[in-house]
Amino acid sequence: MLDTMSPTHRQARLTPGEKLTAGVLASHRRDHEAVALAKLLGIRYQVAADQSRAGRIALLEQIGEALKTERMRSVNKSWLYDVNRHVSLASAFVTELARIDRMQDEALAAMARDLAALAA
């Protein structure tokens, strides 16, 4: 039988032996957020799901551009302006910025641990 489900829906299901853990829940939440971002920005799921630092920064730039466009629609009183999209973009921007900050903090902490290990 041909599997017609999207990759996101397939990933969101638990396999029979898989236990519901914090890691599984976090993975499913990231998948859900990536799907929402892909729909919001009109980009591919793989681009939104990229967890690398460079990928997150590129995604933040795309969100910033979309937010700027939505702000201009608001200022110009365009009929295309959507307040819900504006709020969603602003929320996504803040969330991605916080995620990048956390990634940077984790990288700095790992570097400090490595330096401490070398000094010991």
> How much is the average pLDDT of 56-75?
94
pLDDT tens profile 78-90? 999 999 999 999 9
- Rounded Cα–Cα distance for residues 33 and 76 (Å): 30
Cα separations (Å) of 21 from 18, 25, 29, 92? Answer: 9, 6, 12, 25
| Whether residue 119 has pLDDT greater than 90 | no
Query: Residues of the chain with pLDDT > 90: what percent?
Result: 45
Predicted pLDDT at 4: 42
| Whether residue 114 has pLDDT greater than 50 | yes
pLDDT tens profile 11-40? 556 566 666 676 666 777 788 888 999 999
Provide the whole-model pTM. 0.72
Name the residue ranges covered by the structural domains of the chain: 19-119
Cα separations (Å) of 50 from 18, 23, 35, 67, 104? Answer: 24, 18, 12, 20, 16
